[in-house]
């Protein structure tokens, strides 16, 4: 099988490439702006990388949609700080550019496995978010945070309609706070534009305060990226075509923690870490920050976000097993290595 991965150098793109190259005989065709997360695969005989910008490399994309069997378009801005800072950029990249790829899939009759998002459920009041039953609840227009959620939601609806009106073969998957090595980068965290776990790790390594937005009682269910890749592989393999025309949440309802609990856990892992003593970093304090101060205007939070994973469990036997402590430790170790490289970059 030939798979086209747009945004192959991102968090999900790099991890799924690793899994595909190590456990299947599939050919991976990938495009991205850079190679930092896929350097180790560049010489692999089944990894065909092209450096480029999907907003410019239109002919390459059309040619490769035509050539491949499955299309996984992962290019998107997925950091809340950017939703409120540059909502138009989110619309242009996440919505407009992906719509073009979807239309190529329709034209060439290719299967698309599209990343929807847990964000589409927004402020849904359900205890567990169900792919086929839960309402999708977003906020007022002045709250720019929802541009990501609604862009993705409209793409979900467009793909769905292409499915029944024009026979597009598709699966939508909804990541629920995937976490682990390579989630964003320390460079992004340095600018304050990474997601929670990477942001806190950067703060700890630098002895900066961990900021709890609006008190940190908001909750997320975190899934380790290795568990998450098991789920995504099941969808890509598509045994007996059971993923066709379906939406699947991928998450771990067992790892349900508040932001404050994550801050406390990471802080105590770092407190005893030998590297902290080596770097001679003071132990960060935990502080409260208002969302207005932290993100600026246009931010509205999601207070609880728990996936129902019954559907992917019953369809493919998906069962996440990695606990939060193991996952946080793994992330910290990865970013300590990245930090050492950053240091070298500065020295050079």
- By CB under 6 A, name the binding residues for ligand UGA: 78, 80, 117-119, 175-178, 195-196, 199, 211-213, 216, 218, 220, 259, 301-302
Rounded CA separation 205/301 (Å)? 26
Compare residues 82 and 238 and give the one whose CB is closer to ligand UGA.
Answer: 82
The DSSP-derived string for 291-305 is HHHHH-TT-------
Closer to ligand UGA at the Cβ: 28 or 262? 262
Q: How far is the CB of 105 from ligand UGA (least distance, A)?
A: 22
Exposure of 118 in the CB half-sphere (CA atoms within 13 A): 25
Residue partners of 272: CB distance under 8 A and separation at least 6 = none
Q: Which residues neighbour 163 within 8 Å (Cβ) at sequence distance 6 or greater? A: 169, 170, 245
- Write down the least CB distance from residue 43 to ligand UGA, Å: 31
List the one residue out of 219, 211, 304, 202 whose CA is nearest residue 263.
211
The CB-of-318 to ligand UGA minimum distance in angstroms stands at 17
Is 10 or 30 the residue whose CB approaches ligand UGA more closely? 10
Between residues 177 and 238, which has the closer beta carbon with respect to ligand UGA? 177
Closest among 315, 233, 239 to 3, alpha carbons compared: 233
| Angle, CA of 49, 149 and 100, to the nearest 5° | 45
Cα 273 from chain centroid? 28
**Smallest gap from residue 110 Cβ to ligand UGA (A):** 24
Nearest distance, CB of residue 61 and ligand UGA, angstroms: 23
Of 110 and 171, which has the nearer Cβ to ligand UGA? 171
**Least distance from ligand UGA to the Cβ atom of residue 341, Å:** 23
**125-144: b (≥16 Cβ within 10 Å) or e:** eeebbbbeebebebbeeeeb
Cβ of residue 9: shortest distance to ligand UGA, in angstroms? Answer: 16
Whichever of 62 and 126 has its CB closer to ligand UGA, that residue is 126
Q: Is residue 101 within 8 Å of residue 71, measured between CB atoms?
A: yes
> Where in 214-298 does DSSP place strands (E)?
219-221, 223-224, 246-250, 256-258, 286-289
User: Is the CB of 3 or the CB of 259 nearer to ligand UGA?
Assistant: 259
Extract the tokens encoding 62. Answer: 């059309």
């Amino acid at each position: 099988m030939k798979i086209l991965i747009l945004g192959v150098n991102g968090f999900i793109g790099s991890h799924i490439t690793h899994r595909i190259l190590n456990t299947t005989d599939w050919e991976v065709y990938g495009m991205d702006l850079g190679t930092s997360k896929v350097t180790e695969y560049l010489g692999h005989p089944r990894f065909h990388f092209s450096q480029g910008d999907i907003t410019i490399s239109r002919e390459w994309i059309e040619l490769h949609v035509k050539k491949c069997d499955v299309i996984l378009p992962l290019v998107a801005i997925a950091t809340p700080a950017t939703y409120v800072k540059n909502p138009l950029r989110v619309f242009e990249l996440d919505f407009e550019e992906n719509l073009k790829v979807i239309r190529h899939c329709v034209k060439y009759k290719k299967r698309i496995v599209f990343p929807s998002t847990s964000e589409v459920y927004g402020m849904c009041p359900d205890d567990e978010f169900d792919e086929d039953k839960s309402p999708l609840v977003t906020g007022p227009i002045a709250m720019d945070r929802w541009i990501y959620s609604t862009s993705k939601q409209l793409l979900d609806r467009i793909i769905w309609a292409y499915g029944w009106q024009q026979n597009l073969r598709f699966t939508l998957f909804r990541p629920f706070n995937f976490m682990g090595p390579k989630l964003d980068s320390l460079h992004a965290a340095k600018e304050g534009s990474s997601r929670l776990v990477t942001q806190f790790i950067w703060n700890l390594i630098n002895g900066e305060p961990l900021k709890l937005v609006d008190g940190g009682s908001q909750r997320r269910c975190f899934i380790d990226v290795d568990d998450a890749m098991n789920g995504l592989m099941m969808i890509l393999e598509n045994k007996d075509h059971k993923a066709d025309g379906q939406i699947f949440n991928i998450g771990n309802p067992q790892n349900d923690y508040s932001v404050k609990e994550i801050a406390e856990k990471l802080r105590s892992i770092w407190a005893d870490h030998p590297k902290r003593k080596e770097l001679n970093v003071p132990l960060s304090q935990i502080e409260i920050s208002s969302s207005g101060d932290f993100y600026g205007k246009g931010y509205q939070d999601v207070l609880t976000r728990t996936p129902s994973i019954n559907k992917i469990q019953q369809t493919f036997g998906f069962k996440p097993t990695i606990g939060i402590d193991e996952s946080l430790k793994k992330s910290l170790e990865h970013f300590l290595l990245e930090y050492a490289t950053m240091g070298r970059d500065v020295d050079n």
